[in-house]
């Protein structure tokens, strides 16, 4: 990288133009057509190099958090206003003794503030308890040595400012409307018990709010189901090579490595069936593209290849199959023999047999193609199978891959380390299981699935609270109707249908909004994977069924209680 300090007031576009002229005048015409200089502000560079999450993902997490906070405010409004009649006499007494509407609003807002502060304290405690898991995940995802995020980071001025604004917003949004409704009660009607549900606010706005919660919860359910299915699909993928019971021991170049001595000593251990040296396993996160030229061409090919350095035991250790040609010969000490995969041959537009013994120039070095290997996955599942070249170059290997027998003794791992310590006592021994390395390809998907599952659980829990508030409001608002129907002989099932019809309508409306939005979001997300599930209607049907079941379980108890209540009580209450 080259860091450039612009003069004050200079337009960055001038530098772009100047760099383009440098490219044209300083590079040969062929290279000038292939290369370009890219300018990036330092702030953006710092952000890109500081983590794996792009800004749209971070903004999406912020938006989701705000949506969940907004949904919780809706629940508080619904529950507070649904139970407002229970505080009617308290309001009447306070107004009789001289309390003004402003004083009542201030009292109810103070109650909301106390509840919010209590919730903040609990949430901070839960957050701090979760921080070890978060820091451990960050250490794996972004290679941070000692991540130490804690709630104390909120004490930073900018963080504290936004956090206090959030708390104030929650208090105002959740508490103002219920406080205003309660403070408007007529004291005479309140003390005489003549207030009705109409004095507490309209029913239409509650339906709208609950429908919004249904949209949110069903959207999360759709996303959860699709991400979970994609994750399971990726876990069952065929990598195209054997990766079970493989132990990778990391070498320490550029220190001299006694390859033969290590291999012979390890192969004498019980449980070790093969040893091979390589720069990477067949599938690796380090897949930098490398330009090359094929046969007599002096120009680079229009596509690039991924390199692997390996010895002659690489194919047999990983179960890779030759479709043409032969394997490396141990007598080749010049690192000229190379193997290519089927995808590379296919993109060259030739058949596997015709590339054998043809020249291939890589990194200013000539090689001879001696074989074509059946395709295997060289990277994560976001990418299709890429062109791969395996070079017979022991000097550039960075790991020893030991194949263990399925029933190897428990002492095998210790014995492998002991051999290392005896032969290379001054080098640190570090080993990993290959399956764990392959599993790291799915870490981001697992993290995303965990986030979405947690969000969905919170959204469904809040929807249940909102449903409880709405069914309470419905039971009070339609009390006379329920009483009349009961007197006229309506059965309990028929009375329950009053509630079921209402909530069924809200579920369907929420589903009609959430379904196309979820279909579009999950479809767009799946496009990044070359190996992905096919979209179907089952996530939508499952979401609708789960939502209906959870809604029924939430409202059934309260609705049943309202339906079986004595009609005399309803008429007296009205």
Kindly give the residue spans of alpha helices, DSSP state H, lying in 319-427.
Answer: 342-348, 412-423
Contacts of residue 390, defined as CB under 8 A and 6 or more positions apart, other chains included, come to: 307, 308, 309, 310, 314, 338, 339, 340, 373
Q: Are residues 259 and 336 in the same domain?
A: yes
Separation between Cα atoms, residue 257 and residue 265, nearest integer Å: 14
Residue 527 resides in a domain: yes
Q: Are residues 415 and 453 in the same domain?
A: no
Structural domain including 155 reads 83-201
Separation between Cα atoms, residue 529 and residue 275, nearest integer Å: 33
Q: What is the pLDDT of residue 145?
A: 55
H or E stretch covering 325 = strand 322-325
Q: Which two tokens stand for residue 250?
A: 């990391």
Separation between Cα atoms, residue 46 and residue 41, nearest integer Å: 9
With tokens 């929650």, the residue in question is 170
Residue 297 resides in a domain: yes
Q: What is the pLDDT of residue 516?
A: 92
Residue 5 resides in a domain: no
Q: Are residues 263 and 141 in the same domain?
A: no
As averages over each run of 10 residues, the pLDDT of the chain (574 residues) reads: 85 85 84 78 64 64 83 80 71 80 87 93 90 75 64 87 92 88 72 56 67 83 87 82 90 80 92 92 84 83 90 92 90 83 92 90 86 90 87 89 89 91 89 84 76 82 74 62 63 67 84 91 84 83 88 72 59 49
Contacts of residue 406, defined as CB under 8 A and 6 or more positions apart, other chains included, come to: 244, 245
Q: Are residues 483 and 539 in the same domain?
A: yes
Q: Are residues 272 and 232 in the same domain?
A: no
Q: Are residues 391 and 485 in the same domain?
A: no
H or E stretch covering 274 = strand 272-278
Contacts of residue 163, defined as CB under 8 A and 6 or more positions apart, other chains included, come to: 154
Residue 101 resides in a domain: yes
Separation between Cα atoms, residue 48 and residue 64, nearest integer Å: 22
Q: Are residues 194 and 285 in the same domain?
A: no
Q: Are residues 414 and 268 in the same domain?
A: yes
Residue 143 C-alpha from the chain's centroid: 18
Q: Which two tokens stand for residue 405?
A: 């027998």
Q: Which of 281, 280, 277, 302 is nearest to 292 (CA)?
A: 302
Q: Are residues 534 and 564 in the same domain?
A: yes
Q: Which two tokens stand for residue 455?
A: 């969000």
Residue length of the chain = 574
For the chain, the first-to-last Cα distance in angstroms comes to 79
Contacts of residue 252, defined as CB under 8 A and 6 or more positions apart, other chains included, come to: 424, 427, 428
Q: What is the pLDDT of residue 327?
A: 92
Residue 466 resides in a domain: yes
Q: Are residues 145 and 24 in the same domain?
A: no
CB hemisphere CA count around 149 (13 angstroms): 13
Residue 71 resides in a domain: no
Residue 92 resides in a domain: yes
**Backbone torsions φ then ψ of 496, nearest 5 degrees:** -65, -30
Q: What is the pLDDT of residue 574?
A: 45
Q: Which of 276, 273, 271 is nearest to 251 (CA)?
A: 276
Evaluate whether 285 touches 441 at the Cβ level (below 8 Å): yes
Q: Which of 555, 571, 552 is nearest to 473 (CA)?
A: 555
Q: Partners of 431 in the beta sheet?
A: 249
What global pTM score does this model have? 0.69
Strand pairing category for 365-373 and 322-325: antiparallel
Evaluate whether 442 touches 231 at the Cβ level (below 8 Å): yes
Q: Are residues 373 and 455 in the same domain?
A: no
| Burial of residue 97 (number of CB atoms within 10 Å: 0-12, 13-18, 19+) | exposed
Q: Are residues 499 and 526 in the same domain?
A: yes
Q: What is the pLDDT of residue 203?
A: 55
Report the domain count for the chain.
Answer: 4
Strand pairing category for 365-373 and 337-341: parallel
Residue 76 resides in a domain: no
Evaluate whether 230 touches 526 at the Cβ level (below 8 Å): yes
Evaluate whether 563 touches 482 at the Cβ level (below 8 Å): yes
């Amino acid at each position: 990288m080259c860091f450039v300090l612009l003069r004050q007031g200079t337009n960055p576009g001038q530098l772009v133009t100047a760099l383009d002229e440098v490219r044209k005048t300083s590079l040969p015409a062929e290279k000038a057509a292939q290369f370009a200089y890219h300018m990036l502000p330092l702030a953006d560079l710092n952000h890109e190099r500081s983590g794996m999450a792009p800004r749209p993902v971070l903004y999406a997490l912020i938006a989701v958090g705000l949506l969940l906070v907004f949904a919780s405010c809706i629940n508080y409004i619904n529950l507070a206003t649904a139970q407002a009649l229970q505080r009617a006499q308290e309001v009447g007494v306070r107004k009789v003794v001289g309390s003004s509407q402003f004083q009542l609003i201030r009292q109810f807002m103070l109650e909301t503030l106390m509840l919010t502060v209590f919730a903040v304290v609990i949430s901070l405690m839960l957050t701090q308890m979760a921080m070890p898991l978060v820091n451990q995940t960050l250490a794996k995802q972004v290679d941070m040595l000692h991540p130490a995020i804690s709630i104390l980071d909120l004490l930073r001025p900018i963080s504290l400012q936004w956090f206090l604004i959030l708390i104030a917003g929650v208090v105002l949004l959740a508490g103002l409307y219920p406080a205003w409704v309660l403070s408007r009660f007529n004291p005479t009607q309140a003390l005489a018990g003549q207030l009705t549900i109409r004095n507490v606010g309209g029913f239409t706005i509650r339906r709208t709010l609950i429908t919004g919660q249904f949209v949110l919860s069903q959207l999360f359910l759709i996303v959860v189901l699709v991400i979970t299915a994609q994750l399971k699909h990726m876990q069952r993928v065929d990598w195209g090579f054997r990766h079970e019971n493989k132990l990778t021991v990391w070498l320490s170049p550029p220190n001299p490595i006694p390859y033969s001595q290590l291999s012979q000593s390890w192969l004498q251990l019980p449980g070790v069936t093969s040893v091979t040296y390589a720069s990477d396993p067949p599938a690796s996160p380090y897949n930098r593209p490398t330009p090359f030229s094929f046969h007599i061409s002096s120009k680079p090919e229009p596509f690039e290849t991924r390199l692997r350095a390996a010895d002659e035991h690489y194919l047999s250790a990983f179960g890779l199959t030759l479709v043409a040609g032969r394997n490396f010969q141990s007598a080749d000490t010049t690192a000229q023999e190379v193997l290519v995969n089927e995808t590379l041959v296919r993109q060259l537009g030739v058949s596997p047999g015709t590339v054998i013994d043809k020249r291939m120039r890589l990194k200013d070095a000539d090689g001879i193609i001696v074989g074509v290997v059946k395709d295997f996955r060289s990277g994560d599942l976001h990418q299709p199978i890429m062109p791969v070249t395996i070079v017979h170059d022991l000097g550039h290997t960075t790991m020893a891959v030991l194949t263990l027998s399925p029933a190897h003794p428990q002492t095998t791992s210790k014995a492998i380390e002991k051999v290392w310590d005896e032969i290379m006592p001054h080098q640190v021994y570090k080993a990993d299981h290959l399956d764990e390395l392959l599993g790291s390809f799915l870490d981001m998907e697992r993290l995303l699935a965990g986030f979405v599952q947690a969000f969905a659980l919170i959204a469904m829990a809040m929807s249940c609270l909102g449903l409880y508030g709405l069914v309470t409001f419905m039971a009070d608002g339609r009390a006379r109707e329920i009483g009349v129907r009961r007197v006229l002989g309506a059965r309990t099932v028929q009375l329950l249908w009053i509630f079921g019809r209402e909530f069924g309508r809200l579920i369907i409306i929420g589903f009609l909004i959430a379904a196309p939005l979820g279909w579009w979001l999950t479809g767009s997300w799946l496009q990044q994977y070359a190996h992905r599930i096919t979209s179907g209607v089952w996530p939508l049907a499952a979401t609708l069924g789960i939502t209906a079941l959870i809604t029924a379980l939430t409202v059934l108890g309260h609705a049943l209680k309202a339906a079986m209540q004595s009609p005399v009580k309803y008429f007296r209450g009205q």
